[in-house]
Amino acid sequence: MRPATLPVVAALLLGAGSATAAESFRFPSIDGGEIDLAAFRGRPVLVVNTASQCGFTPQYDGLQALQDSYGPRGLVVLAVPSDDFNQELADETAVKDFCEVNFGLTLPMTEITHVKGAEAHPFYRWMDAEHDFSPSWK
């Protein structure tokens, strides 16, 4: 993957010791249920906001390759589809089908989630407040 095609991401190392603020976040899973970041304690987590109709959509190949290569050593790649940049499909079923058919994704994925602004998921609001990180279109 060339650096120009990398998505805007948030990377975390969830502590092996005491609980961190990042571990308190949960996302609704595209497969139903929820993804609890606390379940990844002690592991590096790459949180990536994605969009199925973006020019960077081929990033899914690289993200899956990262998960396949480094997942056995602890890495978790979490895809967070968002329509905040007007480039996501209409619903979760369409996103899930698109990603499975076109990219063979098996990595964990959230439901379509706001990543910026007042409606941003609490994780992204925390990233902005604590780490001055907010996804943007660059």
Q: Is 54 a catalytic residue?
A: yes
Alpha-carbon 134 to chain mean position: 13
Among candidate residues 54, 68, 71, 85, the one labeled active-site is 54
Name which of 6, 93, 90, 13 is nearest 50 in CA terms. 6
In a 3-state reduction of DSSP, which class is residue 59?
A: helix
Contact residues for 138 (Cβ-Cβ < 8 A; gap 6+): 8
- Show which residues are catalytic: 54
